[in-house]
Structures are given as C-alpha cells and as structure tokens.
Structure 1
Amino acid sequence: MALTFELDPKFDRSVRDGIAELWSDVSNAGGAVGFVPPVTAEDVRPELVKHLVSMAEGRTRILVGYDEDGSIAATAFLTHNTHRLMAHWLWIYTVMVHPRHQGRGYGRDLMAAAADAARTIDGIEAIRLTCRGGTGADRFYGACGYKEVGRVPGAIRVSDGDDRDDVIMLLPLG
C-alpha cells in the first residue's frame, strides 16, 4: 500500500512527536540524517525545533508521508533560500522513510512528491540537497533524477577517523 503525502499538515503534538520518533528510528537504523546512533526522540528534538522555527517564519515547508495506519512514515523539509540571488531554487533537508518501510519504493515516492510540491511554489526552478558520501544516498538521489554538481571531500566527520564527503546534488524542475 502506498504512502499518503500531505504538504504542510496541521502541526500538532502528534505530528511533532511522530517526526521526532521517525527521526530517531531512521538515525538508529543507520540513516544519514544528522545523527550517529544511538539517539532518542529527545536527542533529535532540538534539531526539529530549528525546522519548526523556520516553518513558523515561512522559510520552510514540510512534506509528511503517512502509512496505512496513519502513522508518520516519511518526511522532507523544503527550505527557501534567504539569499535574494538564489531564490529560484530551494533546499530539501532531512529526507526520511521509516526503516520498516524501506525497500517498497516509498523513498522514490517521497522524492517525487517533494518535486511536485516544489513545482507549486512560485518561482522555484530546482531543488538542491546534500548527502553524506559512502552511504549510497547519492546513487539513490541519482536514480530520482538528481545530478551531482559538487563534492567536498571529508567535510562530514561521523567519528574520529571516519570523514565522509559532502555530496551536492541538484534536480532541475523544468
């Protein structure tokens, strides 16, 4: 069964807590979403608050995917550029699909829904993202139509002696 996507759902406690749980579960499963396991929902909550502040300021929108039980199973944050010369593209951050839903094509569905959502925003011509090298994420995003446009070697320090490339990718929406 496919996920149901909603752009900018009513943000209440259940959505907030569902995203925090999703984020910790994805992190603990090895997902490259800004943390190294083990983490709890409380550990990720300060980062979620940063996204919420940006949402309240109108700079970020959230796309949420719900599974057949109505649980939050996927998210992506679409963030406008604050630089006036780069307002024609936006960032996508914290792209997550719950580990129990991996391998069902939901990641591709999420990325397609994010591109569709971005197309509804006036003046947006492309989506840009970064991902952690060495995880296969760049291959996944490539399969979703993104092109690698840059790479910063060793920019992400996962732990002592484990530095990863920061891979920059772009999806033109035209």
Structure 2
Amino acid sequence: MKYSLSDLIRHYAFYLGGDQPQVSWAERLRSVCGAFLGLAFVFMTAKFLGERSGIDEWLMASLGASALLVFALPGSPMAQPWAVIAGNTLSALIGITSLHLIGEPLLAMPVAAALSIMGMFILRCLHPPAAAVALIVVLGGIGHYRYAFFPVMVDSILLILAGAAYSNLTGKPYPNKPPK
C-alpha cells in the first residue's frame, strides 16, 4: 500500500508532540507569567526565611516541574495542594531515610524513587516531580530530616498559595473543588 507524504507526516507527528492538546497563546502566556511570578515569590520568600533562620538550603530543585503543573495544568489531580505538598514532603522524607539506611547512592536513588511512588499511591498524593525530590535528596547527600520541612514543604506551600492567588485572579479556579 502506498502512503502519501502527508499521510506519513500525520502518522509520525504523534511521536513529535502531535498528541499534545492545542493551547491558545493567551493560555500559554497566562501559564508562563504565572510560573514566573509564582516561582519568583517562592524563591524570594524562601531565601528570606532561610536567611532569617540561618539555613543555607532554601530551594528545592524540582520546584520548576511542580510549577508547570500548578500554573499550566491547575485542573490536574497531580497539581492539587495535597498532591504537591504531601507528595514532595513524603518523597524528601523517603529519600533521606533511603540515604541513611542504604548509603550507596546507586542503590539508594532507585529505592527512594520507587518507595516515594508507592507512598504517594498509598497517601493518594501522586505528584510526578516529587519522585525527583527523592532522587535529588539522595544525589545531594542531604541527610538531615529538616530539609523535608524547609525547604521542601515550605516551598511547596508557598507555590500552592501563589498558584491559588494567580489562577483565581486570572479566571482559572484552583484548587479543584470536591464534587458534591
């Protein structure tokens, strides 16, 4: 059977982002501006809090991925407050514990990521960037449990607050309301 060039392009376009939904430029700009403003708010606030408390670690590296969900996909179950806050905090705790119990990063990293996914399933707080938090903790050799609460939990809460304010001010309801 002979296929035209346009048939082949249409068929293979799926593998090059053809499965992504169409998003208006207004929505793209709303999401990008929200992520910028939200992350700037989180970074400045967390840096201030870190300096006031004498803590050097005030930033969680996977926050950019969390911001994508909160600002670009605010309706996603994985962008809801419980998922972001509990998923990130739980994963940090699991990563720290894995580092303490296993020690060898090449084994501790997959254990930490896998157990954080299991924990998120159990607590119903699936948040994909949180699995990266577990890896970052092990890779960074972060062994103190305080890190799970500051910066991870605090940054997550600040991001949720920024996301809720921005989304609601720009006409996107966030967080999702539970069904009646």
* TM-score normalised by structure 1 residue count: 0.26
* TM-score normalised by structure 2 residue count: 0.25
Compare the two structures and name the one with the higher strand fraction.
Answer: 1
Structure number, greater radius of gyration: 2
Compare the two structures and name the one with the higher helix fraction.
Answer: 2
Larger relative contact order (C-alpha < 8 A, sep ≥ 6)?
2
